[in-house]
Amino acid sequence: MLAAFASSTVFLACYLYYHFHAGVIRFQGHGWIRPVYFTLLLSHTILAIVVVPMVLVTLSRALRSNFERHRAIARWTYPIWLYVSVTGVLVYFFVYQWFR
């Protein structure tokens, strides 16, 4: 989990650096795929913001050996983090591979 946290932090730094320089990239798909894509993007974006403080609290409770409270929040943090990771890769494929 510490390795996952470290790699996520490096990814976020690279992601922000890239988007500051690359500007806005628009989705090129047409028709029924647009609502599918934007629903995915919206849920991904909202949960990506929500999960950051959750990960910090989850880690902090574990590192202070407060495992009772760690478990209570980790039950939510883990699936949300997984959802954000998987949908992030899907959004990448939608924008840069499948609908260029």
Q: Is 71 in the site for ligand HEM (CB under 6 A)?
A: yes
Q: Is 44 in the site for ligand HEM (CB under 6 A)?
A: no
Q: Is 63 in the site for ligand HEM (CB under 6 A)?
A: yes
Cα separation, 65 vs 73, in Å, equals: 14
Q: In a 10 Å sphere around its CB, with 0-12 CB exposed, 13-18 middle and 19+ buried, how is residue 83 labelled?
A: middle
Q: Is 70 in the site for ligand HEM (CB under 6 A)?
A: yes
Stretch of 14-22, 27-35, 76-84, 88-96 lying at the interface with ligand HEM (CB under 6 A): 76-84
DSSP alpha helices (H): ranges in the chain?
Answer: 2-22, 33-63, 67-92
Binding stretches for ligand HEM (CB under 6 A): 1-2, 5, 55, 58-59, 62-63, 67, 70-71, 74-75, 77-78, 81
